[in-house]
Structure 1
Amino acid sequence: MDDDRISERERLQIEQIMELDLEELLVEEVDDLQDSDSDDLHANGHGYDGGGTSSRFTFNTCLASMHTYLGDVEDTHHRVAFLEGGAILNLPIFYLQGVVLFPEATLPLRVLETNFIAAVERALNQVDAPYTVGVVRAHMNPDNGRIKFATVGTTAEIRQYRRLEDGSLNVVTRGQQRFRLRRRWIDAEGVPCGEIQIIQEDLPLRTPRDACGNLAPYGGLHDRSLPYMPPSNDCSAKSGGSRDVDNDSEANSDESFEGSLSLTERRVHQFAISSTPGYNAIDESTSSDDEKSEVQFKRSHQDTDSVGSLHSEPENEDVRLENSPKSRMQSCKGKQPINYWGNNNINHLRKVPKAFWPSWVYRMYDSYCLAQRAADLWKQIVGAPSMEGLVKKPDLLSFYIASKIPVSESTRQELLEIDGISYRLRREIELLESVDRIRCRNCQTVIARRSDMLVMSSDGPLGAYVNPHGFVHEVMTLYRATGLVYRGPAVKEYSWFPGYAWTTINCATCETQMGWLFTATNKNLKPRLFWGIRSSQVSDNTH
């Protein structure tokens, strides 16, 4: 009997040793696959080349964006018209943890609870906004441990749905418009509802053509490199001569420019003129503000006339003779100063294009300039194909980058709440320039760098996916990650990426569930493996 017990104990020990050896072999195999595959992807621009895909990248990224794991879903063949900004209406509301939905982004849903099934049914049949639900981010308040709801969300149009035998629903939605949540309640059927107000989106800002003009702004009058002509009878003041400036645009006249300014801006504008070199105090006996402005204009625009003389030629011989050295000498001898500021010259100078601020100030808020800069930064990080189409639509580009940028969900909620395209783009540019490391939210362990991002879906490197239990996860895909350990066997069923098996991964330091490791089930599929990290587990600390 004892011998049987000993042999049984030995047999168990041998099996455990064999399991450990097998586990070590599996770890080594995964590491080898990761190293070789990372080199391939790194050498080929994260799975993309100039044509859009690498020769070593064989996965069809369109499959992930189709959410094939949901099975056959029927198209509703209904497209929601955009609601007018400021419109107020009631909608069924989905409160989702770990999700921030942006306009034009795809959101899959696995609806299991009775009240949410009723919410979808109501959305399909409502009159005001058919096929539309509201999506609001919900998160845990660390101070009191209670659920907190965001006040800004996005309407979602139901594009596809399928009713299963157990009564549950598979739904694919698409973000439409931002809204503010005015109030919320649960009706008699248990359906979460909310009164929302559609946010009026601004139009993309472009620097007006007549804002900067063709010449330097008023700030250029302070340039010491330009010739200076003090308004006096001294002979040195007459060396510049009078020149005509050709500009037929009345929109750039001095009256229209100053007339478009507020009282405060006009004062700053006039102060900028009066502070130019050579300015003399205005005679207090001047009868009106208009006359004072004209005197300021005459005295301060002598430098502008000098600028014009660098780009134009005298129109006739009389002007040439008038500006000749001999003519200037005769004028000095006769003590008769030449009148350089006749009425005609003043009228011409009033038409000179002027800018209140330097051109770089306008570019700071030019939506199209900001869109081009953001697109260039995004392409450097992701290596995605050309985004010229989105650059021409700065509003859509700002939402696209905000929905894909590798930052925490709280930062992405911040981007959703920013009103103004130029302000949102400026914040995204700041993030794209500063975001470098992807860290665990709990222990701040560095998981990856932004250069490790991998595009495994035609929707981009970050997308929303839903599991069989109805939990939606926003996942960023990486071709390289560190500080992670995987738990459990690889599972092929219900994979978000067809042809890949998934394994749960945890942070090696704090054991937080960070996402999944995806490994190819077909040896011809590239990449052989990649990582999916939940954005809800990513830290705000990006340095």
Structure 2
Amino acid sequence: MEDRSIFEREMRQIQEIRDLDLEELQVEEVEESSSDDDDATVPAGSQSNVATMPDELTFNTTLASLHTYLGEVEDTHHRLSFLDVGAVHLLPLFYLEGVVLFPEATLPLRVIQPSFIAAIERALTQADRDAPLKIGVVRLFRGPANPRFRFSTTGTTAEIRQFRRLEDGSLNAVTRGQQRFHLKRCWIDAEGVPCGEVQIIHEDLPLRTPDDAFGKLPSSSYLGINSGTHPSEYPHVKLLASAGEDDGSDDHSEESFESALSLPERTLHHSLIGACYESDSKDGSTCSDDDELQCDSEINMDMLDHDGIASSVELKSKFVNASCHSERNLTSARQSCSSSFSLSQRRPADRHHGVSKAFWPYWVYRMYDSYSLAQRVAEMWKRIVGAPAMDDLLTKPDILSFQIASKIPVSEATRQELLDIDGVSYRLRREIEILECFDRIRCKICQTIIARRSDMLVMSADGPLAAYVNPYGCVHEIMTLCRTSGIALTGRPVTEYSWFPGYAWTIANCGACNTQMGWLFTATNKKLKPKLFWGIRSSQVADDLS
């Protein structure tokens, strides 16, 4: 039943494409922009190109994600399968310049090179073996000092979902990323097939705050909750109250906890708790963003293990040393704890938790709680990018981290960095940092600013950045923008092999260094909005996260 609905939806989308083809294909001339005209226009060869954000988007963004320019492709109808984690597998290898493939991301291929055709054929013929319909995809790049090509050590397996053999011997295929791997070694075998020995990476489970990290909750009056307030308005209270319920034993009581502490540890523990209560009793206490950053920076990353929890041995050493400078360190600790708790005055959800049984306050655990980070990054994505929404993946932080990484419109080097990161929490934290500081889009060669974050325009169901392949087999990951500056156009608009049905493309170069930055897409009929937009190659974008 589900397959039938998918088929019917695809048929409707194909009919929409045919309707677009029946429209008048006269490409509208792009005239010089005027202050009296709301529609942005760009003359060929212009150095200042601005397109006004449309009030209404009439283009069906699902059409671009179908890659209809590849023609009719047949489904492989193969059951989804995964390779054994930690095992070493031999796979046909694809090395692509300017492309970083993530799990769950789509990668279209136009295969015309004999070696890559042989790689696809081998993947198709070994469908009943250990790696059915699988290829390995790694990024090919040039080093900053060495112009020779190099392979990234982390790649992604891709399953062939659709393919089509053409009369000239070439192949069209649509693949989907599945599992990350470490590239052990690669070579070309006697049949001319690029091969790789890959080890599938074990993905860590998303981290949660330990249930026994906090004691019993204070009274509702201490939490600032009115007696008439419905519990559903404070989900953290219910969650952490269950973590602090008495199970009939004294193993987790405050007395047993303190009895296990040394004298210096107990002294600092009492001072921290006292400072927290003192801070909470203050009305209207606030903390600046600089104070918040200072609080976060006081956490020594070397003291946190992979679970985001401090080592007890290192903690003990830290607090024993602190006792030698008790007055100064205790004052600093009170200030740090006061700052962290005053943050809860601005963010009520942060303060609904019990007293920490460990030396670290609640916000430290929250820094590495995958589900809290997933909520934060999804909210940032909705505010900055908008589509596609990530709310459905809040219960799957690992998948959400890959989805964000595959769609975030930054350079390929930054996206490769995200692929290299092991650990869901660490990847989510890095994505939050990128979303916070990413603003300017620069030319990789001359550093000219060509656009800003606010210029992003989502023209595909895959998001503001997606992969497309041209007739010559080159895969390009492009970010779509509603406006640019410092871009010059070369040639006339072309309607053939357009990645966006109903739009013609024109080559766009950097006006300063003449590097090809991407393409200008202009509507071929008056019904489509936006009238024009830009596709900028991520491989030509500089790392600018300052």
TM-score greater than 0.5 by the shorter chain: yes
Structure 2 match to 1:168: 170
For residues 439-483 of structure 1, what are the alpha-carbon distances to aligned partners after superposition, in whole Å with 9 as ceiling and x for unaligned? 001111111111111111111110000000000000000011111
Residues of 1 paired with 2:385 and 2:76: CA distance?
33
Local SS of the residue matching 1:120: helix
1:164–1:356 distance in 2 versus 1, CA, 3 Å: same
Structure 1 match to 2:322: none
Whichever of the two has the greater Rg, that structure is 1
Report the residue type matching 1:411 in the other structure: T
Local SS of the residue matching 2:530: coil
Confirm or deny: 8 A CA contact 1:247 1:352 kept in the other structure: no
The one of 352, 361, 366 equivalent to 1:363 is: 366
Deviation at 1:210, TM superposition (A): 2.2
Structure 1 match to 2:205: 203
Structure 1 match to 2:104: 104
The one of 502, 507, 516 equivalent to 2:505 is: 502
Deviation at 1:38, TM superposition (A): 4.6
Query: How many residues matched?
Result: 401
Structure 2 match to 1:476: 479
The one of 406, 415, 418 equivalent to 2:409 is: 406
Structure 2 match to 1:513: 516
Structure 2 match to 1:455: 458
Structure 1 match to 2:280: none
Structure 1 match to 2:428: 425
Residues of 2 paired with 1:246 and 1:526: CA distance?
57
For residues 2-61 of structure 1, what are the alpha-carbon distances to aligned partners after superposition, in whole Å with 9 as ceiling and x for unaligned? xxxxxxxxxxxxxxxxxxxxxxx84416996327995443xx5xxxxxxxxxxx211011
Deviation at 1:532, TM superposition (A): 0.1
Structure 2 match to 1:230: none
Residues of 2 paired with 1:84 and 1:156: CA distance?
15
The one of 272, 282, 295 equivalent to 2:265 is: 272
1:487–1:270 distance in 2 versus 1, CA, 3 Å: farther
Residues of 2 paired with 1:525 and 1:168: CA distance?
33
Question: Which is worse superposed, 442-451 or 77-86?
Answer: 77-86
TM-score after normalising by structure 2 = 0.69
Structure 2 match to 1:145: 147
Report the residue type matching 1:165 in the other structure: E
Structure 1 match to 2:62: 62
Question: Which is worse superposed, 69-78 or 119-128?
Answer: 119-128
Report the residue type matching 1:117 in the other structure: I
Confirm or deny: 8 A CA contact 1:438 1:542 kept in the other structure: no
Confirm or deny: 8 A CA contact 2:156 2:177 kept in the other structure: yes
Gaps in structure 1 of 5+ consecutive residues: 1-24, 45-55, 221-244, 260-265, 280-350
Gaps in structure 2 of 5+ consecutive residues: 1-28, 43-49, 223-243, 273-353
The one of 465, 468, 475 equivalent to 2:468 is: 465
The one of 441, 445, 470 equivalent to 2:444 is: 441
1:386–1:115 distance in 2 versus 1, CA, 3 Å: closer
Residues of 2 paired with 1:352 and 1:504: CA distance?
61
Structure 1 match to 2:246: 247
For residues 329-353 of structure 1, what are the alpha-carbon distances to aligned partners after superposition, in whole Å with 9 as ceiling and x for unaligned? xxxxxxxxxxxxxxxxxxxxxx997
1:357–1:270 distance in 2 versus 1, CA, 3 Å: farther
Deviation at 1:145, TM superposition (A): 1.4
Local SS of the residue matching 2:399: helix
Deviation at 1:526, TM superposition (A): 0.7
Local SS of the residue matching 2:63: helix
Q: How does 1:191-230 map to 2 (within 5 A)?
A: 191-215=193-217
Residues of 2 paired with 1:529 and 1:212: CA distance?
55
For residues 138-167 of structure 1, what are the alpha-carbon distances to aligned partners after superposition, in whole Å with 9 as ceiling and x for unaligned? 011232311010000000000000000001
Confirm or deny: 8 A CA contact 1:93 1:133 kept in the other structure: yes
Report the residue type matching 1:140 in the other structure: R
The one of 26, 32, 42 equivalent to 1:28 is: 32
1:89–1:520 distance in 2 versus 1, CA, 3 Å: same
Deviation at 1:426, TM superposition (A): 0.3
Structure 2 match to 1:80: 80
Residues of 2 paired with 1:379 and 1:421: CA distance?
20
Q: How does 1:111-130 map to 2 (within 5 A)?
A: 111-126=111-126, 127-130=129-132
Deviation at 1:277, TM superposition (A): 5.8
Deviation at 1:542, TM superposition (A): 3.4
Residues of 1 paired with 2:76 and 2:263: CA distance?
61
Deviation at 1:247, TM superposition (A): 2.6
Report the residue type matching 2:247 in the other structure: D
Residues of 1 paired with 2:537 and 2:255: CA distance?
55
Report the residue type matching 1:173 in the other structure: T
Confirm or deny: 8 A CA contact 2:215 2:356 kept in the other structure: yes
Residues of 2 paired with 1:75 and 1:257: CA distance?
63
Deviation at 1:257, TM superposition (A): 8.5
Confirm or deny: 8 A CA contact 1:439 1:542 kept in the other structure: no
Local SS of the residue matching 1:90: strand
Residues of 1 paired with 2:522 and 2:72: CA distance?
25
Structure 2 match to 1:304: none
Residues of 2 paired with 1:270 and 1:395: CA distance?
42
Local SS of the residue matching 2:40: helix
1:358–1:496 distance in 2 versus 1, CA, 3 Å: same
1:159–1:358 distance in 2 versus 1, CA, 3 Å: same
Deviation at 1:115, TM superposition (A): 1.3
Report the residue type matching 1:421 in the other structure: V
Confirm or deny: 8 A CA contact 1:253 1:353 kept in the other structure: no
For residues 367-390 of structure 1, what are the alpha-carbon distances to aligned partners after superposition, in whole Å with 9 as ceiling and x for unaligned? 010011111111111122542111
Q: How does 1:344-363 map to 2 (within 5 A)?
A: 354-363=357-366
Report the residue type matching 1:446 in the other structure: I
TM-score after normalising by structure 1 = 0.70
RMSD across aligned positions (CA): 2.8
1:100–1:256 distance in 2 versus 1, CA, 3 Å: farther
Report the residue type matching 2:419 in the other structure: L
Residues of 2 paired with 1:180 and 1:194: CA distance?
10
Residues of 2 paired with 1:352 and 1:542: CA distance?
37
Question: Which is worse superposed, 248-257 or 359-368?
Answer: 248-257
Confirm or deny: 8 A CA contact 2:52 2:483 kept in the other structure: no
Local SS of the residue matching 1:406: coil
Deviation at 1:275, TM superposition (A): 3.4
Residues of 1 paired with 2:203 and 2:250: CA distance?
28
Confirm or deny: 8 A CA contact 2:102 2:419 kept in the other structure: yes
For residues 492-514 of structure 1, what are the alpha-carbon distances to aligned partners after superposition, in whole Å with 9 as ceiling and x for unaligned? 00000000000000001111100
Confirm or deny: 8 A CA contact 2:179 2:200 kept in the other structure: yes
Residues of 2 paired with 1:246 and 1:433: CA distance?
38
Confirm or deny: 8 A CA contact 1:131 1:157 kept in the other structure: yes
